[in-house]
């Protein structure tokens, strides 16, 4: 491989001749060979840096500290990054410095050296027209750029992937709830049969869960909209022109189409990442909801002949290498795995977020890596579960009726008529003898009442499942 020589404050470094990155990126490649094949810095962070660097260049140009020609070149490269044409120029792993310095410098170097080439220069030139630190990083520090990129990437992922995915599933479940509202089924608590409800009522709980989750996510967006940029090294804004913080946030908002503002307190936005912790807490809440929903659907669809079998779900693929015709609830299983991963991600984010006492959080890369992982998983898993499972859910009404008719918990309807202990004795007698609830009620001698036996007409009048669903 051909190399060129680049230098940083520590000296000279050999860099592959054809790449746009420089010495600092190369040092990180060589020093952090940790899961390089699977744990690259998320591309969403790279895109966020492109928005950030373009906005910074415009702001510096408007402040009179960066020539327009350099501003335009920086913006041109940032546009290329946003198209994905330079994706292979960002090779760094998550497990680098906790401040994200290397990622910031990777962006600075690629933008500067690509701009130099666009200006007519060669990568091998000793002097480059645009300098990574003095031009691309002007008015910035790794300490305020990386947290800014974190918030940009997190906000965009929530808006573009997570929320739409959850909403799609929520809307389907809402439609199913309305369609199934009159399908009376037996209830279950502790997995044991309980008093009736309707399938629609059961599904309405799922809808409410997701609505609460969506509300929780949206409530975090205000905090995520606050950008650290302008705080530079420690929050004081050293080496920034007047009005920089407000103006750069304005330009980022314009470029992204999202309502970003400058953080009112840069000491918080650099040293703490409570906004990321808060937002991921909302994602964890959604994960908990999805675990419940997926397991309910898995349970209710069990069978098709020897399980509960109250709902039908679409078949996705064969479920066994040995049992012909077996089909498993694969979308449910996928959703529960996603939920488990999100809960695990939350632990790492919480630990990372609690380390702001370094006065810049040194867990930034792993926090945003896990955040984006969770946000994407939830959004895409909701769409998959919706399209391949939820839309095809239908009640199996014959099985539903059978379970209702066989349940001893219908006896609850007799409590107001004959009292709790008489009703309990009827249910216990039916279970002991293996007879129906009605048969047990008619043969049982009632205690402490002015009549000794219930009539068939009374039983049919009092025990009506459709009247037990609370509507």
**pLDDT category, 261, cuts 50, 70, 90?**
very high
Same domain, 330 and 226: yes
The pLDDT value given to residue 359: 80
Pairing of strands 261-262, 226-227: parallel
The pLDDT value given to residue 398: 96
**pLDDT category, 407, cuts 50, 70, 90?**
very high
Nearest to 462 by CA among 431, 444, 436, 438: 438
Which residues are tagged catalytic?
Answer: 190, 320
Same domain, 430 and 384: no
pLDDT tens, position by position, 132-141: 999 999 999 9
The total of structural domains in the chain comes to 3
pLDDT tens, position by position, 53-91: 999 999 999 999 999 999 999 999 999 999 999 999 999
Same domain, 217 and 306: yes
Above 90 in pLDDT, residue 358? no
Same domain, 366 and 282: yes
Helix then strand then coil, % of the chain, to nearest 5 = 60, 10, 30
Same domain, 176 and 318: yes
Same domain, 93 and 167: no
CA atoms 403, 406, 412, 416: torsion sign: positive
CATH number at residue 435: 1.10.40.30
Radius of gyration of the chain (CA): 31
Of 368, 398, 428, the one marking the end of a domain is 398
Of 89, 116, 138, the one marking the end of a domain is 138
Above 80 in pLDDT, residue 164? yes
In a domain, 251, yes or no: no
In a domain, 427, yes or no: yes
The pLDDT value given to residue 471: 65
CATH number at residue 293: 1.20.200.10
**pLDDT category, 99, cuts 50, 70, 90?**
confident
Which H or E element spans position 377? helix 364-388
Same domain, 308 and 440: no
Q: What is the mean pLDDT of residues 23-32?
A: 94
- CA angle at residue 119 from 114 to 121, to 5 degrees? 75
Residue recorded with tokens 């959080």: 361
CB 225 within 8 A of CB 218: no
Same domain, 202 and 292: yes
In DSSP terms, 3 is beta-bridged to: 16
| Average pLDDT taken over every residue of the chain | 96
What are the structure tokens assigned to 63, written together?
């402040």
What are the structure tokens assigned to 39, written together?
């744990």
In a domain, 64, yes or no: yes
**Which residues constitute the domain of residue 171?**
143-231+264-398
Of 81, 108, 138, the one marking the end of a domain is 138
Q: What is the mean pLDDT of residues 248-257?
A: 98
Same domain, 390 and 271: yes
Q: Percent of the chain having pLDDT more than 70?
A: 100
Q: Percent of the chain having pLDDT more than 90?
A: 96
CB 222 within 8 A of CB 260: no
The pLDDT value given to residue 360: 80
In a domain, 250, yes or no: no
Same domain, 349 and 433: no
Same domain, 314 and 369: yes
Same domain, 13 and 97: yes
Nearest to 84 by CA among 116, 132, 46, 41: 46
Q: Give dist(CA 119, CA 229) in Å, integer.
A: 28
Q: What is the mean pLDDT of residues 368-376?
A: 98
pTM greater than 0.85:
yes
CB 384 within 8 A of CB 316: no
């Amino acid at each position: 491989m051909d190399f060129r020589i680049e230098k940083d404050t520590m000296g000279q470094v050999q860099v592959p001749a054809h790449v746009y990155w420089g010495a600092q990126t190369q040092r990180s490649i060589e020093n952090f060979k940790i899961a390089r094949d699977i744990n690259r810095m998320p591309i969403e962070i790279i895109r966020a840096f492109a928005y950030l660097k373009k906005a910074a260049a415009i702001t510096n140009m408007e402040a009179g500290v960066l020539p327009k020609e350099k501003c335009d070149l920086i913006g041109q490269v940032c546009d290329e990054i946003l198209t994905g044409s330079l994706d292979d120029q960002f090779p760094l792993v998550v497990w680098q410095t906790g401040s994200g310095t290397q990622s910031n410098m990777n962006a600075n170097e690629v933008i500067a050296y690509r701009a130099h080439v666009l200006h007519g220069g060669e990568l091998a030139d000793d002097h480059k027209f645009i300098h990574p630190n003095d031009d691309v990083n002007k008015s910035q520090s790794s300490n305020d750029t990386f947290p800014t990129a974190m918030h940009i990437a997190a906000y965009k992922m929530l808006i573009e992937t997570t929320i739409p995915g959850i909403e799609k599933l929520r809307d389907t479940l809402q439609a199913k709830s309305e369609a199934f509202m009159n399908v009376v089924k037996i209830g279950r608590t502790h997995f044991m049969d309980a008093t009736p409800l309707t399938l629609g009522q059961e599904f309405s709980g799922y809808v409410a869960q997701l609505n609460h989750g969506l509300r929780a996510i949206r409530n975090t967006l205000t905090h995520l909209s606050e950008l650290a940029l302008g705080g530079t090294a420690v929050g004081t804004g050293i080496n920034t022109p007047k009005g920089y913080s407000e103006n750069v946030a304005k330009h980022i908002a314009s470029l992204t189409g999202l309502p970003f503002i400058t953080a009112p307190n840069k000491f918080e936005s650099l040293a703490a990442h409570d906004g990321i912790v808060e937002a991921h807490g909302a994602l964890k809440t959604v994960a908990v909801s999805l675990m419940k929903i997926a397991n309910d659907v898995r349970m209710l669809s069990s069978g098709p002949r020897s399980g509960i079998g109250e709902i039908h779900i679409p078949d996705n693929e064969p479920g066994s290498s040995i049992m012909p015709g077996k089909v498993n609830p694969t979308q449910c299983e996928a959703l529960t795995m996603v939920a488990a991963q999100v809960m695990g991600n939350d632990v790492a984010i919480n630990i990372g977020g609690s380390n702001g006492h370094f006065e810049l959080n040194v867990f930034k890369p792993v926090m945003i890596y896990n955040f984006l992982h969770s946000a994407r998983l939830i959004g895409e898993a909701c769409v998959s579960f919706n399209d391949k499972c939820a839309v095809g859910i239908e009640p199996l009404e014959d099985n539903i009726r059978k379970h209702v008719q066989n349940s001893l918990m219908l006896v609850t309807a007799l409590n107001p008529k004959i009292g709790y202990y008489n009703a309990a004795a009827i249910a216990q007698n039916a279970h002991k003898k293996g007879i129906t609830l009605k048969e047990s009620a008619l043969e049982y001698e009632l205690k402490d009442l002015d009549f000794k036996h219930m009539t068939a007409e009374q039983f049919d009048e009092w025990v009506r499942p459709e009247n037990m669903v609370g509507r």
